[in-house]
Chain A
Amino acid sequence: NAGVMQNPRHLVRRRGQEARLRCSPMKGHSHVYWYRQLPEEGLKFMVYLQKENIIDESGMPKERFSAEFPKEGPSILRIQQVVRGDSAAYFCASSPRRDEQYFGPGTRLTVT
């Protein structure tokens, strides 16, 4: 059973561009969580999704950030008009039942 897949592993964007981060959960997992790791803030929850539904987005910045988990395909975290402060590691986790979460390898976003 393949683990949680994330791509790309590294992403470089210039200020003002868009970043799209993809996450494929483990087979049979319908719960997806996104977390962000900033150097001075540690790991923080961003958003929780199930297929076609955003369940909890209380950790998402109000502007420029959005997430989706369509019926078919991976979950996408989208950051519009990136700024230097968005540089971070973004982790996706999946779970079969809202209990143990399994993390992907992360996407390291660098904004230049």
Chain B
Amino acid sequence: GIQVEQSPPDLILQEGANSTLRCNFSDSVNNLQWFHQNPWGQLINLFYIPSGTKQNGRLSATTVATERYSLLYISSSQTTDSGVYFCAVGDRGSTLGRLYFGRGTQLTVWP
């Protein structure tokens, strides 16, 4: 299956700071999603972005499929942004749709 690597594994920020999370993947994809797992364990959909750029409030994401990476930008961090951010991809060579997850980036935002 596809290998998904996320960096950095841990990130500690002060409120108001900006950050960039990276997701590298090993093969062509037909699906790429970013999730936020909050402290209660729920997985929140952030972006569905197999290619291109999207923005939603303070968050934005860019996927460069030809170079096999995606970036998640968080601006003006807030304490409620804390949690684990996952990148997940679907294999372009498969029609089955299963997602392969990275190990995540643990983000902690201090007031």
Q: Which A residues fall within an 8 A CB radius of B?
A: 31, 33, 35, 42-45, 48, 55-56, 59, 89, 91, 93, 95, 98-103, 105-106, 108
Contact = CB atoms under 8 A, between A and B. Distances in A.
B45 interface: yes
Given A33-B97, A45-B99, A105-B41, 20 more contacts: A33-B98, A33-B99, A42-B102, A43-B86, A43-B101, A44-B101, A45-B98, A55-B96, A56-B98, A91-B43, A93-B99, A98-B97, A100-B33, A100-B45, A100-B48, A101-B31, A101-B97, A103-B35, A106-B42, A106-B43
Contacts of A59: 98
B101 A102 contact: no
B96 A89 contact: no
Interface residues of B, number: 21
B97 A103 contact: no
Interface of B: 30-31, 33, 35, 41-43, 45, 48, 86, 88, 95-104
Contacts of A95: 97
Contact of A48 (B43, B86, B88, B96): B96
Contact of B48 (A56, A91, A99): A99
- The binding surface of chain B is classed by DSSP as strand
Nearest to A44: B101
Contact of B45 (A31, A35, A102, A106): A102
